[in-house]
Amino acid sequence: MHNKMDTQKRFKTVLPKVNLTFFYPRMHYQDRPVPMDVASTSKPLNLNQIRNFDGFIITGAPIDHLDFKNVTYIEEIRCLLQELNKYKVQQLYFCWGAMVAMNYFYGIEKRILPEKIFGIYSHLIIEPHPLLNGLSQGFIAPHARYAEMDKKQIMQNPRLTINSIDDNGHLFMVSAKDKPEQNFIFSHIEYDRNGLRDEYQREIAAHPDRHYKKPENYSLSTPLFQWQDTQKIFFNNWLKEVESNKLVLNK
C-alpha cells in the first residue's frame, strides 16, 4: 500500500454509509510540510478524540521492511494503540497496521520474507470468527506484503488465535481471544479490482532499475475482481461487530 488518496477512496467505497475521519501521524511530518492533498483530506492524529470513535482502522504502509524502532512515528502509533486498548474501541488492523499492533500488544516478531507475497489466493478457515461468517472454505482474497509475523510465536501465545490462512500457509486473520475488539488482517481486502496492478506499477515507477514480482493468479492487463464477495461480506461483518461492541460499552 503506497497511495494515501487511493487508500481513502477504497475505504469510502467499502464503508459507504459510515462517517469516516482520516488521520495522519503528526510525527511523520515533523521536519517537513504536510502535503496539500494529505492536509486537505486528513487531520493530524488527536489522541484525545480516540474515545469518541465507534471503530478504528490502522491501514498498511510501505514500511514493512523497516524495524519498528526505525519508523519515525512509531511512538505516536504506540500511544494510539494504548488509547484504543484503554477505551476498547473496535479495532481493525491491516497489513503493516496488523504487524505493529500485534508486536505492541503481544510481542510477536516480524519476519522479512525471502520474496513478496503478492497475488490472489484461496483461503482456509481454521477457527470460526464473526468476521468470517458467510465466507466459505476457499474464499478468495488479495495479498501484498514483504513481511510476515512469526506464526510459531502466535501459536504459542494462548491469547491469540490464527483464524485463517491462505493456501500457502500465509496469515490472513488473527484474533485476540480475551479482547474481541482486536482483529488483525494481513490481506488487502479493501483493494478494488485494480489495486494489485496499481501497486505493481507504483513500485516499478519508483524503482525502474529493480525487478519486481508480478502478482500471482491475477492479470495485470485485464484484472478481475475475484474477491468482491469476500470484501462485501467481511466489511458487513465488521460493521456488525462495531455495533455489538457499542452496545456492550454502553451498558
Query: Is 202 known as a binding-site position?
Result: yes
193 annotated to bind ligand = no
User: φ and ψ at 125, to 5 degrees?
Assistant: -90, 115
Residues 99/65, Cβ–Cβ less than 8 Å: no
User: Where is 202: in which H helix or E strand?
Assistant: helix 195-206
Catalytic residue (choose from 83, 181, 188, 199): 188
Task: Say if residues 113 and 146 touch (Cβ distance below 8 Å).
Answer: yes
* Catalytic residue selected from 83, 95, 123, 181: 95
- 95 counts as catalytic: yes
- Catalytic residue status for 188: yes
End-to-end CA gap in the chain? 38
DSSP category for residue 75: H
In angstroms, the CA 98 to CA 149 distance is 9
| Backbone phi, psi, residue 223, to 5° | -65, 140
How far, in Å, CA of 98 to CA of 24, rounded?
Answer: 17
Q: Which of 181, 190, 203, 241 is catalytic?
A: 190
Catalytic residues: 95, 188, 190
Annotated binding site: 116, 202
